[in-house]
Structure 1
Amino acid sequence: METNTTSPPFPGSHSFNNSTCSRDNLLKTVVFPVLYSFLFLLGLVLNSVAVWVFFRIPSKSHFIIYLKNIVVADVIMTFTFPFKVLSDSNMASTGLRIFVCRVSSVLFYLTMYISILFFGLISIDRCIKTLRPFRGTNAARLVRRKLLSGAIWTFLLVLCLPNVILTCKTPTSPYFKCGDLKTEAGLYWHQVVNHVCQVIFWGNLVTVIISYTLITKELYRSYSRSTGGTISRAPSGASTRKPHRAKRKMSANVFLVLAVFFVCFVPFHFARVPYTMSQTQGFLFDCKLKLFFFQLKESTLFLSSLNSVLDPLIYFFLCKSFRTTLFKALRLAPGTCSRLTGRGSEDTVSTI
């Protein structure tokens, strides 16, 4: 969410024509629209399967509750891609571009930050499961997690709604930017949203780093204990190293959440720092440098969009209920699950 009043509002619409430094180059009008088109088709398939599977899974753990919320966010984000494709490729009508400014781009960023918040909660949940693997749950805790999920959606919807309401001015040029549609109050609120979303990201980044630092330490201690003694021998004389290797593989799956978070969300938020400076302090940057930071921001924004197709990896490898339901629906042999995930009949703390 760029902070200056001349840049796209609740970041999303990137329409920009300037006789001296146009952003309408091959990257913006062809490359990214093609990439987002493929992303839309892939995301539509994967998230449709995820919705179909999760619809059959009861919310019996905190982890499943959080995953279901991410599925909803991913579905909404996926349906914003066609509007971005039409807008960036300059194929959209004026009315559709106004819709992108008012609604579509707002939904895109809304779902991004909802995902970031739930990634933080999942990291905390995985940390607790690793440190206290025998800690159970109960109906009261599940209700509290559902209320927390509802509060997150309500908070961000209320935060973003003024960006829709206050983007109501009529464009005076066919080459308008989203900021041109905002009232004075809308421009101010956009800056407020910008700062709040910065806090959300950096707060969750710290949460994720701390959680996975603790997880790593605990897994290392567990691995040290399991390999510290004399290797036992099976009756046939075979070593029991293989179960240890399987256990390490199982534990490694926990870090999928960390990997997806860093691949999707970290580059964009780091790239936004120089991009925002190039917009708010434009006199310090020449045309080519501004264009470079714009392209950098768009490239990392695409990485953020990849979240919608990478999340199903988390569902499959970390959620036992998801795998079981999926394989049962596909009528695959139970052993298929073990071969694909590296798990035996027992799950580690990384799965639910």
Structure 2
Amino acid sequence: MNTSDSLNASHGVLCSPEPQHISLAVILCLVYLLGLLLNGFSLWVFTCRIHSWTSGVVLQFNLALSDAIIAPLTPLMAVYFASDSNWVFGNFTCQLKIAVLSIHFNGSVIFLTLISVHRYMSVVHFNRSSLIKRKVFVKKLCAGIWCFLIISGIFYGWMFPVTTEDNHGQCLTIHQKKLIDAYFIINFLIFFFWCILPLTISVFCYSRLASSVSRINISSAQGQSAKTKSMRMIGICLLIFGLCFLPLNVVRTIGVVVKKYYPSKCRLLLQLETAYYACYILAGINCCLDPLIYFFGSRNFIRAFRRSLRVIGVRRNVENNSDSETVSQTAKRNVTFTVS
């Protein structure tokens, strides 16, 4: 324990908020600006260029929507970092930020998980009937999910108002002493239901999908391309969970535990807070990686993307892509499974 921590422990003084480096604000804005551009373009392709939607396209559209909604609030976080970690926008704006953050992260996780289940059912069990393959059911499911996300977001915003700590306005930080018990409980609920459980489901689905696709013997070049791109999409989805969501949840969990049981370890708490914001930026990279899922996962998206490039006068050679339905059709017509 260093000198400042010893003094804090002996006098029972809790740690004060400290400013973060301005580079966090710059990188945060750049990441979410790129995410806004990519997802904005994806939403335009979905709504204006794809005329026939499948159940998979419905899930991908909702994922793009959940990624895009966070971008308008990113400047508030940038100003917070630039203002010596002092929230100056009032209580309502803080609660709105918390609600939108909740909808964004939880929505991204749940739609990514549903996409993994959809891929699994469409490819591994392509000859079985399933509700997740039906567009009407998926639309109703997505509507119900959005209602749940909005209600839970409002609840989180109501639970965590702005507090003043050492003349610094604090919005959703570990320095809010009166809210640490609520943070502790809700964090573990989020960690299990919005990290461990979705990650487990996705790993199971994609491991079975990878095993199924790897056993396919494809003689045609088109079939081999579909197989390769399917494997790439699996890798991207697992990378998103492993790189973007898991570190954020792990660091936040360590932070609330340290804050609750070792509140006088100021240096450690500052390091954890900085690590959390760095992981927050990593989580924002999710918005930039998700469009690759549409690229590798939907033939309709690729065709619409190529038409869009022609509309704006860009000529490029874009390889044909295949969604899960195409893979399953290829598996039935053009391939032979090698049973190990």
Same fold (TM over 0.5): yes
Among candidates 254, 265, 276, match of residue 245 of structure 2: 265
Where does residue 146 of structure 2 map in the other structure? 153
Where does residue 311 of structure 1 map in the other structure? 290
Give the root-mean-square deviation of aligned CA atoms: 3.6
Among candidates 72, 75, 79, match of residue 72 of structure 2: 79
Q: Distance in 2 between matches of 1:48 and 1:350?
A: 31
Among candidates 184, 200, 209, match of residue 206 of structure 1: 200
Secondary structure of the residue aligned to 1:23 is coil
Aligned residues: 310
Secondary structure of the residue aligned to 2:155 is helix
Where does residue 47 of structure 1 map in the other structure? 39
Q: Distance in 1 between matches of 2:86 and 2:265?
A: 31
Where does residue 215 of structure 1 map in the other structure? 209
Task: Pick closer, same or farther for the CA change 1:59–1:159 going to 2, 3 Å.
Answer: farther
CA drift at 1:40: 3.0
Q: Distance in 2 between matches of 1:350 and 1:100?
A: 49
CA drift at 1:113: 0.8
CA drift at 1:106: 2.7
Among candidates 265, 278, 285, match of residue 286 of structure 1: 265
- Gaps (5+ residues) in structure 2? 1-12, 331-340
Which letter does structure 2 place at the counterpart of 1:281?
Answer: Y
Pair 1:322-2:301 in alignment:
yes
Which letter does structure 2 place at the counterpart of 1:205?
Answer: L
Q: Distance in 2 between matches of 1:112 and 1:250?
A: 26
Among candidates 1, 6, 24, match of residue 32 of structure 1: 24
Q: Could you tell me whether the CA contact under 8 Å between 1:66 and 1:149 is conserved in 2?
A: yes
Secondary structure of the residue aligned to 1:55 is helix
Higher mean Cα deviation, 315-324 or 119-128? 315-324
Q: Distance in 2 between matches of 1:263 and 1:39?
A: 15
Q: Could you tell me whether the CA contact under 8 Å between 2:98 and 2:157 is conserved in 1?
A: no
Pair 1:298-2:277 in alignment:
yes
Higher mean Cα deviation, 93-102 or 57-66? 93-102
Where does residue 18 of structure 2 map in the other structure? 23
Q: Distance in 1 between matches of 2:92 and 2:21?
A: 19
Among candidates 135, 139, 142, match of residue 142 of structure 1: 135
Pair 1:104-2:104 in alignment:
no
CA drift at 1:265: 0.9
Q: Distance in 2 between matches of 1:244 and 1:68?
A: 26
Q: Could you tell me whether the CA contact under 8 Å between 2:106 and 2:194 is conserved in 1?
A: yes
Where does residue 57 of structure 2 map in the other structure? 64
Which letter does structure 1 place at the counterpart of 2:108?
Answer: S
* Residues 76-129 of structure 1 deviation map (CA, whole Å, 9 limit, x = unaligned): 112221111111211898541535521113312321111101111111111112
1:120-139 to structure 2, matched below 5 A, reads 120-134=113-127
Q: Could you tell me whether the CA contact under 8 Å between 2:45 and 2:301 is conserved in 1?
A: yes
Q: Distance in 2 between matches of 1:168 and 1:297?
A: 20
Q: Distance in 2 between matches of 1:103 and 1:136?
A: 41
Q: Could you tell me whether the CA contact under 8 Å between 2:98 and 2:156 is conserved in 1?
A: no
CA drift at 1:282: 1.7
Q: Distance in 2 between matches of 1:222 and 1:264?
A: 31
Secondary structure of the residue aligned to 1:306 is helix
Q: Distance in 2 between matches of 1:20 and 1:194?
A: 21
Sequence identity (%): 21
Q: TM-score, normalised by structure 2?
A: 0.77
Q: Distance in 2 between matches of 1:178 and 1:139?
A: 38
Q: TM-score, normalised by structure 1?
A: 0.75
Pair 1:336-2:317 in alignment:
yes
